[in-house]
Amino acid sequence: MILAGWLLACSSPEAVYTFPAPELAMPPLRGPGAPAVAFAEEELWEGCATLTGGPEDQAHHNLLMPYRGHLVMPWIPEWGNGGVSLFDLSDPCAPVKVGEAAELTLRESHALGFVHLPADDPHAGDWLALTGMLGVQIWDLSDETSPKMASYLELDGIFYPDSYARPVLSVFWQYPWLYVAGADNGLYVVDATDPYAPVAVSTYTFSPVLRAGGVFVLGNQLLVSSAEGTESAQLDVSDPTAIQPIPGGIFTTANSAGEPQETYHGNLYGPYAFYANKDQQAGMLVYDVSVPGQPTFVSEAPSDGNGGYVFYHEGFAFVGESSVARVYDVRDLASPVLHGEAHLVGDLDTVTPYGNVALLSVDDDSEDDVATIVVPWATEPDTTPPEVWRVDPPDGATNVPVTARVGVGFNEIIEPSSVFAGSIRLYAEDGAAVPGWGSGQDGIASYSPKEPLAAGTTYTIEVVAGGVRDASLNAVAETVRTSFTTAGP
């Protein structure tokens, strides 16, 4: 019964499934996307607007993410009692709030997972996964003017007030599977096929303890970064109900001298793991994690800050360093250089890129209740399409489990609603289209087949031109095709 969503058959066994054209299947945008406004050089790195939540907003903010053309902003302190707001940033220096709701049981969120399920799906709607005080919550964003909590799943072993030992620290939604980083509890896997009735199905614990802070899933590979630790882990999630370790997959994050480096949080863009360093060894580390069990050091950008969270956008890394927001030019990934910096009073942990502006957010010690500001960082709007950086299963892979899902890593944050059956396609070797669900989070697009794949069969993945879009609504320019073969006779 737990896997009912995973095993859901096509509505008619005689019907021949075909993929819709991207321009027909993408849900209509409800907002304008990232700004299409140019700035003068003298306007860069200075705040031009403030984003504030509802009357209950306690000025504790973290990341913001795009959804259907709007910007989604949680405003939640670590002790709970917060809310979610949506904004129109067509004029980034005069943002317009389009909707919001408060919820007592929300807790500080470090990741937001989205899925749009079309009208013919039994669970049609717009859904958001984020952190609850004692577990995870799924919100209904189908009416952008009135978001509401759909479900709240409490998880065994999760508790507060400790901010690091046993809470939920982040989530990743590869629909229908929701992966939950539970700090010292390890990882939880939730079947969230029905957003109104999610069910916990498995856990994975580390021995010795790895304090799971960030969780990122690209296809069948999961990366977990530790919170204020020196360990990361790669895991095989080709069967989400039975996560498996990868030989060599647990590794120490170290600097160029080989010295272990504590990191506060990480992120995954294509083949690269980006880490925000902790304390006075702050700045950023970059690792290549594209080969399971063989992570390799790429580069570092040390600084005098105290790292929080890190995001990536088309050759630039955005790092909150507690006292300052720094943007690093990593177009030459082997040699990062400081590109610019901006300031906001408070514990400035998060800098989220959104086109040619960045959102600076503090989660403590704000001044005059200003917890998020809009800061232009580039003069021209983003008109560059997202680039496919990594596909899993990788091209030419064999012995792929029949429970595999497809993951596509991009070089920037994507518009989650642009990921669907049509923008990412999966074909069997006889040319038959494989029905599935699409979902997007940060820089990762996921495609999950609705039924297990056939054994011993070669499949083709297509990332279709004109399909997946970035936050500025630029679409993939050229179709990318790869193939893999499942295990079996």
pLDDT tens, per residue, the chain with 489 residues: 333 333 333 344 446 889 999 888 899 999 999 999 999 999 999 999 999 999 999 999 999 999 999 999 999 998 889 999 999 999 999 999 999 999 999 999 999 999 999 999 999 999 999 999 999 999 999 999 999 999 999 999 998 777 788 999 999 999 999 999 999 999 999 999 999 999 999 999 999 999 999 999 999 999 999 998 999 999 999 999 999 999 999 999 999 999 999 999 999 999 999 999 987 667 899 999 999 999 999 999 988 888 899 999 999 999 999 989 999 999 999 999 999 999 999 999 999 999 999 999 999 999 999 999 999 999 999 999 999 999 999 999 999 999 999 999 999 999 999 999 999 999 999 999 999 999 999 999 999 999 999 999 999 999 999 999 999 999 999 999 999 999 998
137 touches 106 (CB < 8 A): yes
Whether residue 376 contacts residue 369, with contact meaning beta carbons closer than 8 Å, is answered with no
Q: In what order do the strands lie in the sheet with 424-427?
A: 397-400, 480-486, 458-463, 424-427
| Number of neighbours of residue 294 by Cβ within 10 angstroms | 14
Rounded (10°) CA dihedral 420, 421, 422, 426: 130
**What pLDDT was estimated at residue 436?**
97
398 phi and psi angles, rounded to 5 deg: -125, 170
Predicted local confidence at residue 15, as pLDDT: 62
CA of residue 160 relative to chain centroid, distance: 24
Q: In what order do the strands lie in the sheet with 316-320?
A: 310-313, 316-320, 325-329, 337-342
Tokens 């993408």 appear where? Answer: 26
Q: Which residues are within 8 A (CB) of 84 and not within 5 positions of it... i.e. 6 or more apart?
A: 53, 72, 73, 74, 75, 100, 101, 103, 106, 128, 130, 139, 147
Q: Residue 4 has what pLDDT?
A: 38
For residue 51 the two structure tokens come to 């984003």
pLDDT computed for residue 334 by the predictor: 95
- What pLDDT is stored for residue 281 in this prediction? 65
Neighbours of 399 (CB within 10 A): 11
* Tokens (6 digits) for 228: 């204020």
Rounded-to-integer distance, Cα 67 and Cα 63, Å: 13
First to last CA, the chain: 29
Q: Write down all domains in the chain, each with its CATH number in brackets.
A: 43-376 (2.130.10.10), 385-486 (2.60.40.1220)
For 324, which DSSP code? -
Q: Is the CB of residue 130 less than 8 Å from the CB of residue 74?
A: yes
In sequence order, the β-bridge partners of residue 285 are: 275, 300
Distances (CA, A) of 280 to 191, 325, 330, 412: 40, 15, 21, 28
Single pTM value for the model: 0.95
Residue 7 is predicted with a pLDDT of 37
CA-based torsion, 98, 104, 108, 114: positive or negative: negative
Residue among 424, 355, 422, 419 at smallest CA distance from 384: 355
Q: Are 359 and 373 in contact (CB under 8 A)?
A: yes
